[in-house]
Structure 1
Amino acid sequence: MGYACGAPDLPWRSATVLGPEGLTRSQASCQSLLGGLADLNERNTWLTWRITQLERRLSETRGQDAWRASGLGAPGDIDVL
C-alpha cells in the first residue's frame, strides 16, 4: 500500500527550508509521517494476531468447561480408578 504526501493545503507542506540530510522540512515531515504510519500498521497487525490468539484460547477453555459441566464426558478422576 503506497501513501503519498502532497496535499498543498497541509501546514507541514508549506515549509521549504532545508533540514537534516538536505531534505525540505515538508519532505522530512512526510517521511516521518510515513514511518509512523508503517509502525502503526505493524502494531495493528500484531494486535489483530494477538486478539485472535486470545479469542481462540478463550473459546477452547469455555468449550472444555461446558463439556465438563454437561456431564457427557468421562469424569476427570477416571485415571485414579
Structure 2
Amino acid sequence: MIDLLCPMAYRRETGEVARLLRKARAAAPKTRIWGGLMAYAGERALLREQVRAAQDAGCEGAILFAYDTTQRDLLDIFAAA
C-alpha cells in the first residue's frame, strides 16, 4: 500500500515540472501526491510559480528541497512559496 507519492520534479522550467506532476497524477489517480520541488538559490518567483503548477497538476501540496543549506536566503525562499 502506498500512502503518499512525492515525485521529485527538479526542473528549472515550470512547464516541465507541471508535465511530470500531471503524468504522476494520471498514473496514480487515487493516491495522495505532493510535488517534490527544488528551491534554487535566488529563485523565489520560480518556486512560487512551481508550487502553483503542482497544485494545478492535482498535487495536494509541495515538498521543498534545497541542496545548499548554507544559502542565506533559504528560509526567505521557503516562506515566499
Q: TM-score, normalised by structure 1?
A: 0.24
Q: TM-score, normalised by structure 2?
A: 0.24
Larger radius of gyration: 1
Higher normalized strand content (fraction of residues): 2
